[in-house]
Structure 1
Amino acid sequence: MAASLTAAKQQLRSLMKQRLSGVSQDSVRAQSRKIFESLKDFKPYKDASRISIYLSMPASEVQTDDIVRHALDAGKQVFVPYLHKSPLEMPNAPARVMDMVHLKSIQDYESLKLDRWGIPSIDPATVHHRQRILGGPDVHRSDVSTLDLMLMPGVAFDFDEAGSARRLGHGKGFYDYFLNRYLARMDPSGGSLDGPPLLLYGLALTEQLLSASSGELVPMGPHDRNLHGLVLGSGEIRESSNRSI
């Protein structure tokens, strides 16, 4: 079962890599701009004071530079991905895990260096000065360690028969593992210990949204979580019918 799920996911990733290679940079920029314009007026974004935003690759995915700058300029606390060696000593724990770390300002954001994929990345030497969502034994943990909204990347997205948005990631499991650790701290009522539930929205180019009529589906495993909705390159925001993740 696990092997067939992994194979199905990898097959879809290969298909999407080929499909996205044909999307021009002009189209990516235009769709990213429409997403940004829609997001600015989206109530969950406007209401969020603490948000997580991925920092985008130069091609083949929604560009987030405008969103990061707008959020920082609006006074929101912005958290971005940071990959590091796992501090967890438990069976089957991955060697590397993801946390979300605080960007202090636009100047801080502009000072980030590009990694080998062209993604702006947090310097590990600065991490101990930054607030982290999950923290670890090597850092000072803030009492305030919650998020209001997470804007997520993906390779492909779809809606299941019940109307729930689904996401296929890049295969490393960083977001799934982060969310499982984050949500494990939530109380039984579904609210976090410090506030309302975390909202998860995918940012998707129109080419990344699979249609039911095509026969293409996002394969889902027991540890995969649905999203609350998608912000699409057409400018449309589609909410999940089932708000549970």
Structure 2
Amino acid sequence: MNGALCAAKQQVRLAMKQKLAALPRESILEQSQIIQRKLLEFKPYVDANRISVFLSMPSAEVQTDEIVRHALSSGKHVFVPYLHKSPLPANPDIPPRVMDMVRLRDVQDYESLKRDKWGIPSIDSATINQRQRILGGGGSDEHQSDKGTLDLILMPGVAFDVAPESSEIRRLGHGRGFYDLFLERYAEKLEGLDLKRPSVLLYGLGLQEQFLSAENEQQVPIGPLDQPLHGLILGNGKTIVPPQLD
């Protein structure tokens, strides 16, 4: 990533961090409930059998607890992010830790997760070899890679907007590149398995304060590795999709 792009992204992240720090927790919970209710009648979610859902920090983003519980209770296969040491060849562009998606067994399994230092419920590494994984870690545990695919990924973000010319939905992450690299590796996996099926749907979940409107002076800066979303669900109940998918 070039220096100017990196600086532009950091500027938006800092501004959004300050905005969200002043947001009452009651507002975050209310918006999260609106999004969860919206999902119950949202066709991509209703139709999806295998979904990935991010597990939330205690503040400053959409809370996904009820979404995870509903998905598990309704019989969906629910996969959540898991960070582990990179099995990929040494490369300065690849972080030392990468992300995979691993399956939760049921609601009780979800409730048993311990929180990490950021307060996010996290998979115990001791249980990884007994869980389905989307990519697998490579090397000695490569056989744990699940040959299934994902229908839908519900993604977090720091900020979102709509590109004025292309109408693409843009997402700004936290800057670690976990989702970008996961999606790249996932696409390679599908190609390797020669699966003739649509790519996974990518939908962002955001608080209304995280959406940068056309009137806002700031925009979401993107680079060549940043993938546009298929849609965005906001805490005011609004669903945004590109015109060609509407």
2:175 equivalent in structure 1? 171
Output the CA distance in 1 between the equivalents of 2:194 and 2:233: 24
1:113 equivalent in structure 2? 114
SS at match of 2:227: coil
- Mark the CA change 1:68 to 1:240 in structure 2 (over 3 Å): closer, same or farther: same
- Normalised TM-score (structure 1): 0.94
2:131 equivalent in structure 1? 130
Amino acid at match of 1:99: D
Give the C-alpha shift of residue 150 in structure 1: 0.2
2:222 equivalent in structure 1? 220
Q: Deviations over 1:28-79 (max 9, x none)?
A: 0000000000011000000000000000001010000000000000100000
Structure 1: which 5+ runs fail to align? none
- Normalised TM-score (structure 2): 0.93
Give the C-alpha shift of residue 187 in structure 1: 4.4
Output the CA distance in 2 between the equivalents of 1:192 and 1:120: 34
Q: Which of 221, 226, 240 in structure 1 is aligned with 2:242? A: 240
Q: Identity, % of aligned pairs?
A: 58
Output the CA distance in 2 between the equivalents of 1:128 and 1:239: 38
2:202 pairs with 1:200: yes
More helix per residue: 2
Give the C-alpha shift of residue 183 in structure 1: 1.4
Output the CA distance in 2 between the equivalents of 1:66 and 1:52: 14
- The question of whether the paired residues in 1 share the 8 Å contact of 2:169 and 2:229 is answered with yes
SS at match of 1:157: strand
Q: Deviations over 1:1-29 (max 9, x none)?
A: 71000000011100000000111100000
Output the CA distance in 2 between the equivalents of 1:167 and 1:12: 11
2:211 equivalent in structure 1? 209
Output the CA distance in 1 between the equivalents of 2:221 and 2:91: 25
SS at match of 1:185: helix
- The question of whether the paired residues in 2 share the 8 Å contact of 1:185 and 1:193 is answered with no
Give the C-alpha shift of residue 221 in structure 1: 0.3
- The question of whether the paired residues in 2 share the 8 Å contact of 1:134 and 1:145 is answered with no
Q: Which of 139, 156, 160 in structure 1 is aligned with 2:159? A: 156
1:95 equivalent in structure 2? 96
- The question of whether the paired residues in 2 share the 8 Å contact of 1:163 and 1:242 is answered with no
Q: State how many pairs are aligned.
A: 241
Give the C-alpha shift of residue 164 in structure 1: 1.1
Output the CA distance in 1 between the equivalents of 2:146 and 2:83: 22
Superposition RMSD in Å = 1.7
- The question of whether the paired residues in 2 share the 8 Å contact of 1:81 and 1:99 is answered with yes
- The question of whether the paired residues in 2 share the 8 Å contact of 1:146 and 1:194 is answered with no
2:72 pairs with 1:72: yes
